[in-house]
Amino acid sequence: MSKRKTQHVVPNPDGGWSVKKGGSPKATKIFTRKSEAIDFARDISRNQGVALYIHGRDGMINEKKSYGKDPLPPIEK
């Protein structure tokens, strides 16, 4: 069984927001504003057809967006 690929927008310990590939300790790119990080991560997720997880300052997942063939897609509100 293969692991699902994901992208994450997470708080950066040095300030700002990081975009990371799921399971990677290194940030793909760091941004000052969360909205910029989300835009960048959304583009990557759409191009790769993977899920995007957006975390809050506390590290908890606040939102999930699916851009691939997700067997259990989130309900859009």
Query: What is the torsion angle, in degrees rounded to the nearest 10, for the CA atoms of residue 25, residue 44, residue 7 and residue 55?
Result: 100
Please report, for the chain, the start and end positions of each structural domain, with discontinuous segments joined by +. 6-66
> What is the reported pTM?
0.83
Q: What value does the mean pLDDT take over residues 8-29?
A: 96
How many angstroms separate the CA atoms of 46 and 57, rounded? 24
Q: What value does the mean pLDDT take over residues 25-54?
A: 96
Residue 18 pLDDT greater than 60, yes or no: yes
Residue 69 pLDDT greater than 80, yes or no: no
Q: What value does the mean pLDDT take over residues 42-59?
A: 95
Say what the pLDDT of residue 2 is.
Answer: 42
